[in-house]
Structure 1
Amino acid sequence: MADKRFEYRLQVRWSDSDRLGHVNNTRFVEYLQEARANFITQCLLEAEGARGATVVRKLTIDFLRPLFDDSGPLAIEISISSIGRTSFGVRHAVRDTHGALCAEATAVMVAFDLDTQHARPLIDREKAVLADYVHTALDTE
């Protein structure tokens, strides 16, 4: 397994803050989704022979410190924690512009067949691409 990591950068939008002056926790979910979608598009869907759709089965977030309007650009690091027959685990680390870890999240993604509307097995090429990003733990420093 290689030691690759996928990083996605995004800016905190002015509409992301709530009345308390910090980024609303629901926006974290959007940030994670945007980063994960870019990972899937750039890495997994571009894999020759990849069949496409994935759906979120489970998402867990630990909010470690608040984000503010001036916290960006944010860096969201994605790595793979596990690869199964029809699913894979995704780890996310959200860092502010100073590199401080603000949130950690895990997701279970399921390969999905749009025609049958059921889980499908990951193909060998998808597993190979995912394996390049496997890490046992995120760097939390």
Structure 2
Amino acid sequence: MPKIYTCELQVRWGDSDRNGHVNNVLYAEYAQEARIRFFKERIVGAGAPPAPMVVRTMAFDYQRPVTDETGPITVEVSILRVGTSSFGVREVLRDRNDEVCVVVEGVMVGFDPETEKSVPLSERTRELLQEYAPTSVAH
């Protein structure tokens, strides 16, 4: 059974729009914060070398709004697939009532800032990511 990384994020006072809902652009920020925590704690924190990565794609499925009253949110991070230089990631954002609000799916790519080209992920990074991915779809 693949692991799921979970963290809690606060809904900040300025995150809401005039309707009292968290502004939709902030879900990308929440997903990024959860991904950064996941990498620091579970990937680099477990011995993988830190390495630059970029977002290749990101899609959002908005299912219900988060409001000031329904925060904080819990973000579940899981890995969809692990390739040589990229991996698929899913972040499920839930409100304080455990309702799914947004599902974010994307592809992250190892990146060389000097050449501005993709590079392979380290073996240790791929190994650790695989712990959060279904084994049936791993590459």
TM-score, reference length from structure 1: 0.89
Distance 1:111 1:47, change over 3 A: farther
Question: 115-124 vs 74-83, which deviates more?
Answer: 115-124
Distance 1:49 1:38, change over 3 A: closer
* Residue matched to 1:3: 2
User: Percent identity over the alignment?
Assistant: 41
Matched, 1:17 2:32: no
* Residue matched to 2:60: 61
* Residue matched to 1:79: 78
SS at match of 2:22: coil
Moved over 3 A (4+): none
- List per-residue Cα deviations over 1:75-100 (Å, max 9, x = no partner): 00000001111100001100000100
In 1, the alpha carbon distance for the partners of 2:64 and 2:98 equals: 12
Conserved? CA contact 1:12–1:70, under 8 Å: no
**Number of corresponding residues:** 135
Offset at residue 51 of structure 1 (A)? 4.3
Matched, 1:43 2:37: no
- Structure 1 regions of 5+ residues with no counterpart? 137-141
* Residue matched to 1:97: 96
TM-score, reference length from structure 2: 0.90
* Residue matched to 1:121: 120
In 1, the alpha carbon distance for the partners of 2:48 and 2:66 equals: 39
- Structure 2 regions of 5+ residues with no counterpart? none
Offset at residue 112 of structure 1 (A)? 1.1
Q: Alignment RMSD, CA only?
A: 1.5
